[in-house]
């Protein structure tokens, strides 16, 4: 049974047990006259907290930053990283406070406030987050979870009238993020760049013992060594990151800021800023208005992830002198990603299994979508309709209908080879091709309502995005093409 009070939570605070060099202990800077805009009962259950606790004054006090988490150990973590491919040096939690770690029914979760005030790592920042970006992050993590993509979670969204200066004056908000760990690639880069192998080893041992204990097991036929666990750690992170990239590509998600300090050591989607789910498809789609060179475009995400993994591998080289062993692990990325991506694409196309002959079929579809800027989500979703004879639903998404029809004929011929009944294939396709995604215009509508103190749009989106594959009567506009004004929405690093 879930507990009804924060004082009853079982806190463990494992990260806070690391040496003091890893963080600064300091209190969060709470919001003035805070209001709970929304709380997530599903996320609360992960830490063993009953939904009834979400409406208590105690809950608001803690997650507005005005009081510490009972049993917690509030701190801001230090890390470094590469930003847009350039070494940025020391970074850290510049506007975030880790409240503590709570043992839930099926595992431990760290609770972190984002937008909770300045820390020693704020650099030139004010330590705050605005309502606009907080609503986007709150919704995005839950949308990704609904899609089955590994992600941090969101527990609460607290707002106030405190002014925050961005391009204009906005109002402050705090989103509570949950993750088994917030350790990043940049956490390792920090200690390697400072030539402090003892602290790098302490971090690596912590991550292995806490999250990857299997890394200490020698594989059959292999002898154990002092450095083998760190090679295995890189192997585990490489695998998880490759699988995450396949997930992102399959749902048309662009992260926007794939800096090494935004890459999770657990292979989770971390730090939602100027992200975007594609509407009209472009192979080189860039969702971040600040990314003028397109470094983090959709088609570059897997290669950037590998580049980031090389930075992690370079950091671990301080512990593993055998560079060839680390390089061999990194060389596994492409095969893992490609296999996972092809498996996902086969499922999205309704095929029973991927074959090498399917490569041109997929490539030509992506080129066709790119040339016509066909809607990413609806293109895949309407393939199930086309498979059952309703071709126009699919073809209507393309300016060049003749080319779309010709490609569709090829897919239908491929299905004949599969021998799978059309209804069975269509049903399977609708289980992997979502109907609802967090499009920018839907998030924008939720933000506009939230500015008026209305959380109804957030509530609706949370409900739809928890099960994005099942059509809900009365919510057709959430599954339709974006309105014309949506093309003018821009998100940037300030988002």
pLDDT for 225 equals 76
pLDDT for 224 equals 62
Active-site residue, selected from the candidate residues 261, 271, 279, 291: 261
Residues 106, 168 share a domain: yes
End-to-end CA distance of the chain: 38
pLDDT for 222 equals 56
Per the domain annotation, does 327 fall within a domain?
yes
Q: How many folded domains does the chain comprise?
A: 3
Is-catalytic flag, 279? Answer: no
Per the domain annotation, does 1 fall within a domain?
no
Domain final residue pick, 342, 366, 398? 342
Residues 222, 107 share a domain: no
Domain final residue pick, 318, 342, 366? 342
Per the domain annotation, does 265 fall within a domain?
yes
Residues 389, 468 share a domain: yes
Residues 113, 34 share a domain: yes
Residues 148, 226 share a domain: no
pLDDT in tens, 25-78: 999 999 999 999 999 999 999 999 999 999 999 999 999 999 999 999 999 999
Per the domain annotation, does 454 fall within a domain?
yes
> What residues make up the domain containing 91?
6-181
Residues 159, 252 share a domain: no
pTM above 0.95?
yes
Residues 112, 76 share a domain: yes
Residues 138, 13 share a domain: yes
Residues 453, 394 share a domain: yes
Task: Give me the residues of the chain with pLDDT under 50, please.
Answer: none
Domain final residue pick, 285, 318, 342? 342
Residues 357, 333 share a domain: no
Per the domain annotation, does 10 fall within a domain?
yes
Per the domain annotation, does 336 fall within a domain?
yes
Residues 50, 93 share a domain: yes
Per the domain annotation, does 254 fall within a domain?
yes
Residues 212, 166 share a domain: no
pLDDT for 435 equals 98
């Amino acid at each position: 049974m879930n507990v009804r009070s924060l004082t009853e939570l079982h806190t463990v605070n494992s990260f806070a047990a690391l040496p003091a060099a890893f963080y600064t202990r300091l209190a969060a800077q709470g919001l003035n006259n805070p209001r709970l805009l929304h709380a997530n009962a599903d996320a609360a259950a992960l830490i063993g907290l009953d939904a009834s606790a979400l409406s208590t004054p105690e809950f608001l006090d803690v997650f507005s930053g005005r009081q510490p988490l009972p049993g917690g150990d509030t701190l801001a973590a230090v890390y470094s990283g590469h930003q847009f491919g350039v070494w940025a040096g020391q970074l850290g939690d510049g506007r975030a406070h880790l409240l503590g770690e709570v043992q839930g029914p099926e595992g431990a979760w760290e609770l972190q406030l984002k937008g909770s005030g300045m820390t020693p790592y704020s650099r030139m920042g004010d330590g705050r987050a605005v309502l606009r970006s907080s609503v986007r992050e709150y919704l995005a993590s839950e949308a990704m979870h609904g899609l089955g993509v590994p992600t941090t979670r969101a527990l609460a969204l607290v707002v106030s009238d405190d002014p925050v200066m961005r391009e204009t004056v906005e109002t402050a908000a705090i989103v509570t993020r949950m993750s088994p760990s917030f350790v990043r690639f940049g956490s390792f880069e920090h200690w390697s760049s400072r030539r402090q192998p003892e602290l790098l080893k302490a971090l690596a041992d912590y991550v292995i013992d806490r999250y990857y204990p299997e890394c200490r097991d020698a594989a059959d036929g292999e002898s154990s060594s002092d450095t083998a666990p760190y090679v295995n750690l890189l192997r585990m992170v490489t695998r998880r990151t490759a699988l995450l990239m396949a997930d992102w590509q399959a749902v048309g998600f662009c992260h926007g800021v794939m800096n090494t300090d935004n890459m999770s050591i657990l292979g989770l989607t971390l730090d939602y800023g100027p992200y975007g789910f594609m509407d009209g498809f472009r192979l080189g789609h860039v969702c971040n208005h600040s990314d003028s060179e397109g470094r983090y475009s959709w088609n570059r995400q897997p290669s950037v992830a590998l580049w980031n993994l090389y930075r992690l591998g370079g950091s671990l080289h301080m512990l593993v002198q055998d560079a060839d062993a680390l390089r061999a692990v990194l060389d596994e990325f492409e095969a893992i990603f490609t296999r996972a991506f092809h498996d996902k694409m086969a499922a999205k196309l309704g095929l029973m299994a991927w074959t090498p002959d399917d490569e041109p079929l997929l490539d030509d579809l992506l080129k066709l979508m790119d040339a016509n800027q066909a809607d990413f989500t609806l293109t895949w979703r309407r393939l199930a309709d086309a498979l059952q004879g309703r071709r126009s639903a699919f073809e209507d998404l393309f300016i060049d209908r003749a080319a779309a029809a010709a490609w569709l004929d090829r897919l239908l011929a491929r299905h004949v080879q599969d021998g799978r009944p059309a209804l069975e294939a269509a049903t399977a396709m609708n289980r992997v091709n979502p109907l609802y995604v967090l499009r920018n215009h839907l998030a924008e509508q939720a933000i506009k309502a939230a500015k008026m103190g209305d959380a109804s749009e957030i509530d609706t989106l949370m409900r739809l995005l928890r099960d994005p594959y099942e059509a809900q009567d009365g919510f057709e506009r959430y599954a339709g093409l974006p309105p014309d004004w949506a093309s003018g929405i821009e998100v940037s690093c300030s988002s």
